[in-house]
A and B are shown apart, each in its own frame.
Chain A
Amino acid sequence: MRIALLTDIHANIEALDACIAAAEAAHVDAWVCLGDLVGYGPDPTAVIERIVGLRARGAVVIQGNHDEAAAAETAAMSEKARLAIDWTRARLSADERRFLRELPLEARDQDRLYVHASANDPAEWHYVDAPSTAGASLAATDARFTFCGHTHLPALYHALPGRAPTYFRPLADKPVPLSRLRRHVVVVGSVGQPRDRDPRACWGLFDTADSSIAMRRVPYDVDETMRKIKAAGLPEWLADRLAMGR
């Protein structure tokens, strides 16, 4: 089975549509959205509509911290993120906010765990950004594979039983086999706001046949998304960072 993993879409419909088209062209059998559908970007409603459509086709959809914040009345966030969240909240219908509010924090499917940030205290939104934080996540679950997002930086952490995890930076479009002897945390790169200096949208392709993961990169019409962010009156940096991928 081939599973498409989408995370940190951040209301970027151009990037999401490019990833969905690429995943369909890659003949995926299942879809997982790891959260942060909204926040930062100019098209929250269109993105929610697309994800609702995927869920109707069986997709697993997980809640991210921006989804929680946009659905709630107030939230603790950085100033730029909060500006964008207030902007987003004002544009969402009651139904859309309920959709975001009712998303689960995690989901388990056989040996796979899906969570937005980290398996330990998912509602605390810990970043898995180092072997130590990956170790904390691994310690909180017995799943062989934990798939998450939140950092916007594609990463693989793997650990032999009783050993500390080690880090590998996956290369674009190169599948990496995930060893049977180890447990893994797969941090999928961001669809709508990549921060690894590669401005292309990122989605994950997990193939259960050989337990391999590839971070697929897809160019999209970034100029259009930047134009919309500026036209919406959102902070300019949110547009500029898309061109730089950071």
Chain B
Amino acid sequence: MQDLATGRIIDGFTLGERLPSGGMGSIWRATRADVDFPMILKIPFLDPGQDVSTIVGFEVEEMIMKRLEGPHVPRFVAAGDLAEIPYIAMEFVTGRSLEGEMKQAPYSWQTVAIYGAQIATALAALHRQKVVHLDLKPGNIILADRGAVLIDFGLAHHEELPDLLAEESSIPMGTPAYISPEQVLGDRTNPASDIFALGCILYEMATGEKPYGEPTSKAGMQRRLYHAPVPPRSHSRDIPRWLQEVMLKCMEIDPARRYATASQVLFDLRNPEQVVLTSRADQEAEAGGWRKLVKALVPGGKTPPPIQPSIAARISGAALVLAAVDLSSGVDTLAEEVRLHVARVLEAEKGARLACLTVLKTKLAGEDTLADASGRSVYVNRLVALKDWARPLRLSDARVSFHVVEALDPAAAILNYAGHNDVDHIVMGARASSALRRHLGSVSAQVVAEALCAVTVVRLKRQEEADAARPVPYRPKLIPTGA
């Protein structure tokens, strides 16, 4: 099975040129008549006596790639049966590997910020799909015309799937130069681990040095559990203090003290003047070059005094919040998002009560569909669905009420309920924009226009669409400093 060669056909894919690859398998350019973009086939080495983690890593990559989408990952085409001819066929991403580009580091801070923002964008898109990469490094990042593309998901973890690798090994899995402290300790679930690796990559781009070198032993990797790296500005005063702040915040030893999301890193890299400087920005190298953990744990900024609520804010404590939720297609992702925002509103307004409302749309004015048995069961089913939707909020019966309202016009029904019951705050969802919806006017738009209280309109965030809508950013060539 391993007698692979250019020209061989596997499941309709014709192997082309063999590309350089690591020790886990071979990579081939490939073509198939019905696929009109360049492809590669990744084929694992399955020699007898091969470490079982090779095939497990391959299983993991197949499982996760099948579920990923968007411009920041290669398009998945097909996978071969693991028990027969294992392979993964995917898009060949045209671009430059960051590993090759890194040979010219250090780069100007402008270049670091531009490419850092692209990588952070790709990482945010990945995390939004519930996947942690866990082996983010220059060799796994391709700088393409469409932005950064992340490759090689053999060590990745999907939040909703079994972690086959966690069961395989007690040795830290990752690349020693970029592995996070918690990965060294065996935690394979934290997106903050990718933020740490991103910090290491920014550091390397800006200084030309790997922040922790390339340790070859577990003890060497464990060093990062106790020591922060040499501050980047010790390498070069040309690195702005804000960029040092960003890098060191990414590389905090405690994952909870790093950026909470890749999107926050992106924001800081795109808005340097907005970066809040803490003691991280001013860190300087100590004798020996390593800073002790105790130093790293000193809080960076001062906590502002708590804001005293106004009288108006105090009396609004017993607010009535109306959650208007569309359950016509069950508890979908938008309904879940509405629930998340309702939970935040209730968290902010302790003591607030919640009225949950869903509208059963009738087709005719004056029609009373609830009169017969099947109508009653529709009503009961919707009430059951509404209670089920609210269950994760864990509210006591005294704090929550449920209302299934039959109406021709959902917006009018919501406004009517809010007016009659002196509702303080309406939370509702809005579907993605469409031509028809713009023409007819959406339910949420009408409620926003006519409600006499606060209205929160919840929409699902989609990075890919936002990317597509944004003009293509200016992408200068990588400029080595001093060039």
A interface residues (Cβ-Cβ under 8 A, vs B): 156, 158, 160, 166, 168, 171, 174, 176-177, 179-181, 199-200, 219-221
Point out the residue from A160, A168, A177, A200 that lies within 8 Å of B63, measured CB to CB.
A177
Whole-angstrom distance from the CB of B45 to the nearest CB of chain A? Answer: 15
CA distance A177 to B63 in the complex (A): 7
Point out the residue from A176, A179, A200, A221 that lies within 8 Å of B59, measured CB to CB.
A179
Residue of B nearest to A177 (CB): B63
Of residues 20 through 75 on chain B, the ones whose CB sits less than 8 Å from some CB of chain A are: 52, 55, 59, 63, 66
Contact A180 B82 (CB under 8 A): yes
B82: chain A residues within 8 A (beta carbon):
179-181
Of residues 369 through 419 on chain B, the ones whose CB sits less than 8 Å from some CB of chain A are: 380, 384-385, 387-388, 391
B interface residues (Cβ-Cβ under 8 A, vs A): 52, 55, 59, 63, 66, 81-83, 160-162, 164, 167, 380, 384-385, 387-388, 391
A sample of 8 inter-chain contacts (CB < 8 A) reads A160-B52, A166-B162, A168-B162, A177-B161, A179-B164, A180-B81, A219-B388, A220-B384
Contact A181 B59 (CB under 8 A): yes
B391: chain A residues within 8 A (beta carbon):
199
CA distance A180 to B162 in the complex (A): 14
CA distance A210 to B385 in the complex (A): 30
Whole-angstrom distance from the CB of B98 to the nearest CB of chain A? Answer: 31
B385: chain A residues within 8 A (beta carbon):
219
B63: chain A residues within 8 A (beta carbon):
177
Whole-angstrom distance from the CB of A116 to the nearest CB of chain B? Answer: 24
Contact A166 B384 (CB under 8 A): no
Contact B387 A181 (CB under 8 A): no
Residue of B nearest to A25 (CB): B330
B167: chain A residues within 8 A (beta carbon):
166
Point out the residue from B52, B59, B66, B162 that lies within 8 Å of A156, measured CB to CB.
B162
Contact A219 B384 (CB under 8 A): yes
CA distance A156 to B160 in the complex (A): 13
Nearest 7 pairs of A and B residues by beta carbon: A219-B388, A168-B162, A174-B160, A180-B82, A166-B167, A180-B83, A219-B384
B164: chain A residues within 8 A (beta carbon):
179
Whole-angstrom distance from the CB of B129 to the nearest CB of chain A? Answer: 13
Further contacts, 17 of them, CB under 8 A, given A160-B52, A221-B380: A166-B167, A168-B162, A171-B160, A176-B160, A176-B161, A176-B162, A177-B63, A179-B82, A179-B164, A180-B81, A180-B83, A181-B55, A181-B82, A181-B83, A199-B391, A219-B388, A221-B384
B160: chain A residues within 8 A (beta carbon):
171, 174, 176
CA distance A220 to B387 in the complex (A): 10
Whole-angstrom distance from the CB of B216 to the nearest CB of chain A? Answer: 29
Residue of B nearest to A217 (CB): B388
Residue of B nearest to A198 (CB): B391
CA distance A158 to B387 in the complex (A): 35
CA distance A219 to B160 in the complex (A): 21
Residue of A nearest to B59 (CB): A179
A171: chain B residues within 8 A (beta carbon):
160
Contact A219 B387 (CB under 8 A): yes
CA distance A96 to B92 in the complex (A): 62
CA distance A87 to B472 in the complex (A): 72
A168: chain B residues within 8 A (beta carbon):
162
CA distance A179 to B163 in the complex (A): 12
Whole-angstrom distance from the CB of B48 to the nearest CB of chain A? Answer: 13
B384: chain A residues within 8 A (beta carbon):
219-221
B162: chain A residues within 8 A (beta carbon):
156, 158, 166, 168, 176
B83: chain A residues within 8 A (beta carbon):
180-181
Whole-angstrom distance from the CB of B50 to the nearest CB of chain A? Answer: 13
A200: chain B residues within 8 A (beta carbon):
388
CA distance A199 to B82 in the complex (A): 38
Residue of A nearest to B392 (CB): A198
A219: chain B residues within 8 A (beta carbon):
384-385, 387-388
Whole-angstrom distance from the CB of A130 to the nearest CB of chain B? Answer: 15
CA distance A158 to B56 in the complex (A): 13
A199: chain B residues within 8 A (beta carbon):
391
CA distance A221 to B167 in the complex (A): 40
B59: chain A residues within 8 A (beta carbon):
179, 181
Residue of B nearest to A199 (CB): B391
CA distance A176 to B391 in the complex (A): 25
Residue of B nearest to A159 (CB): B167
CA distance A171 to B385 in the complex (A): 19
